[in-house]
Structures are given as structure tokens and as C-alpha cells.
Amino acid sequence: MTMRFDGRVAVVTGAGGGLGRRHALALAARGAKVMVNDLGAAVDGNGGASAAARAVVDEIRAAGGTALANGASVTDAAAVQAMIDETLAAWGRVDILVNNAGVLRDKSFAKMTLEDFRFVVDVHLMGAAYGSKAVWETMRQQNYGRIVMTTSSSGLYGNFGQANYGAAKMALVGLMQTLAIEGEKYGIRVNCLAPTAATRMTEELLPREMLDLLQPETVTPGLLALVAEDAPTRAILCAGAGSFERAHITLTPGIFVGKPADAAEQVAARFDEISDRHGETVPDSGHAQAVVETGKAQRRHPG
């Protein structure tokens, strides 16, 4: 059955080009009304013009779809709230939020300024938090919502020269985990998409032969699956070049050491045993770690 979004309203940030543009076009082609947000800034976040968002809206309308353009910076909480208010005034609801806007200010940590660190965190993490907060009550009241955070392999696994970007992207996983738990009883499903795509942000980082395969349109099917009616929740979906994988934050079975005087020495000596992934689990909440740990202690010292 063809996946459709008729009657649904989507907001896509950073949708003036690259992945965001592809996401917006695909949602509109499948029936969604789309608020296309883009500040129109350079890759490092400087400058800004709303022409890029308007151009995508023109594409959507030319194809028979419905869309509006918005040039708010995701770092401006009031402007983000105004964008959501505008969306609600136009179409009465918000069903889908794709937190896609991002910037790069790459340098080794030794050379990176704290200003550049904070700015990248503000765009990626706080931008997603502002957008999610702006739609949260609406989604709770309508008992339906789909939110996607755009994380990255740089956050999941690290990348040289991207301490700010990686920290922000991994923080989005933590935000997703908790919002998914809190939103579950309200029909709000929250996921992460970790794309690898040839965009303005990656064209200087990857060789041409890889960029030719990593077209943004090969990632968007994953985005659509994460915001569909039967979407999962609390998933980290990796996507690139037409391939899709799932990443997990796991917990190994580990060991019980207790409180002997040489506990630190035992941890160091048995670190390979602690790291053994056989039988690892994916906890359903942060509380689950405590349950596992106290359970081991209780089995060792029953009663």
C-alpha cells in the first residue's frame, strides 16, 4: 500500500536545500501540507535569506501540492513559536516535525573556539528543542505526533574535527529517548535519522566517488517511514546510498564486583569481560540500568 500523508501537516526545518528539501518535496508529493523553513544561511550559519525556502514552496505548488515558506532561525525560540503559530493558523494542526536544520564549524578541538562550539550546539540541539517544545502541546492535545531528530554518525561514533557537531548530534539522541517515553501515551512517536548524504555540509568532507552515491533522495524514504502512521518510536535509523541500518545504545551483561578494597583494580583487570557484548540488551529507559545493576547485587547477596 502506498504511504500517504493526506490531511497531515508537516514542518521541515532547514528545508531550503539538501536533505530538508527532499524531505519537504516527498511529504508534499504524498499529500502533506508542508511548512518549509529555512534561514538561507551559509553552511557555517552566517548570513540569511528566505529565497531558498520560497523556491522549494514554488516547486511544491508547481507539482500541485500545498506549502508555505518561513525564514525563522531555529536558534530563535520566539521565531520558531511564531512559525508553528502560523502553521496552526493556516492549517489547524501540526502532525509532523522534522528537525533537520544544521550548520558546521569544523576544527580540531584544540583550535575550536567556545563560540563555535556553542553556536553549533545551539543550532542542532536547542533548535530541535525549540521546535519540539513549540509543537508538543498541540500534538498532546490531538493525540498524534511524529517528530524526527536529525542525528549523525559523527555523534554516534565520533569524527575528527567535529567535537561540537558530534556532541550536539549525540545530545539529540538523548532528547529523542526521553521525548519518546513522555509522548507515548499521547500518540507522539519520536525517532532519530542518521543520514549520510551529499549536501553542502558534506561536499568538502567526502571523496567524489562516495558523494555520487550518497544522493539526498536515497535518505528520504527512511524519513518517510519514521513519520508514517505506523512509524516506530525511539529508533535510530541510519541511511545513505539507498542502504538502511539501525543503531542502538546497548548495555552489556557486565560483571558484579561489589565493594572490596580492590574494586577499581578488578574493573581494570576485567574490562574485556565487562565489554563482552554477548547477551547485551537495549534498555527501555534509563531506570533499566539501575534495575540490572541492583539485580546483580541482589543475586550475589540475597535477602
Q: Which of 129, 127, 163, 166 is nearest to 39 (CA)?
A: 127
Cell output for 270:
576485567
pLDDT at 8 over 80: yes
Q: Are 275 and 252 in contact (CB under 8 A)?
A: yes
Q: What is the pLDDT of residue 43?
A: 61
Q: What is the pLDDT of residue 206?
A: 64
| CA max distance for the chain | 72
Q: In the β-sheet with 33-37, what is the strand arrangement from edge to edge?
A: 66-70, 33-37, 9-12, 96-99, 145-150, 188-195, 236-240, 243-247
From the list 144, 157, 165, 186, the catalytic residue is 165
Instruction: Evaluate if pTM is beyond 0.85.
Output: yes
Q: What is the pLDDT of residue 187?
A: 98
pLDDT at 213 over 60: yes
pLDDT at 200 over 70: no
Q: State pLDDT tens for residues 108-160.
A: 999 999 999 999 999 999 999 999 999 999 999 999 999 999 999 999 999 99
Catalogue the E-assigned strands of 121-270.
Answer: 145-150, 188-195, 236-240, 243-247
Rounded-to-integer distance, Cα 181 and Cα 219, Å: 26
pLDDT at 208 over 80: no
Rounded-to-integer distance, Cα 156 and Cα 285, Å: 18
Rounded-to-integer distance, Cα 34 and Cα 202, Å: 26
Can you count the helices (H) and strands (E) in the chain? 12, 8
- The overall average pLDDT reported for the chain is 93
| DSSP one-letter code for 162 | B
Distances from the Cα of 1 to the Cαs of 4, 190, 265, in angstroms?
Answer: 9, 23, 58
Rounded-to-integer distance, Cα 247 and Cα 155, Å: 12
Under 8 Å CB-to-CB from 146, ≥6 apart: which residues? Answer: 95, 96, 97, 188, 189, 190, 226, 227, 228, 231
The region of weakest confidence among 7-16, 42-51, 128-137, 141-150 is 42-51
* 165 is annotated as an active-site residue: yes
pLDDT at 41 over 70: no
Q: What is the pLDDT of residue 210?
A: 74
Q: What is the pLDDT of residue 48?
A: 52
For the chain, domains (ranges, CATH) are: 9-247 (3.40.50.720), 263-300 (no CATH)
User: Is the C-alpha dihedral spanning 65, 32, 9, 19 positive or negative?
Assistant: negative
Q: What is the pLDDT of residue 202?
A: 57
Q: What is the pLDDT of residue 201?
A: 56
Q: What is the pLDDT of residue 45?
A: 53
Confidence class for position 47, pLDDT limits 50, 70, 90: low
Rounded-to-integer distance, Cα 11 and Cα 135, Å: 10
Q: Are 265 and 220 in contact (CB under 8 A)?
A: no
pLDDT at 272 over 90: yes
Rounded-to-integer distance, Cα 94 and Cα 43, Å: 28
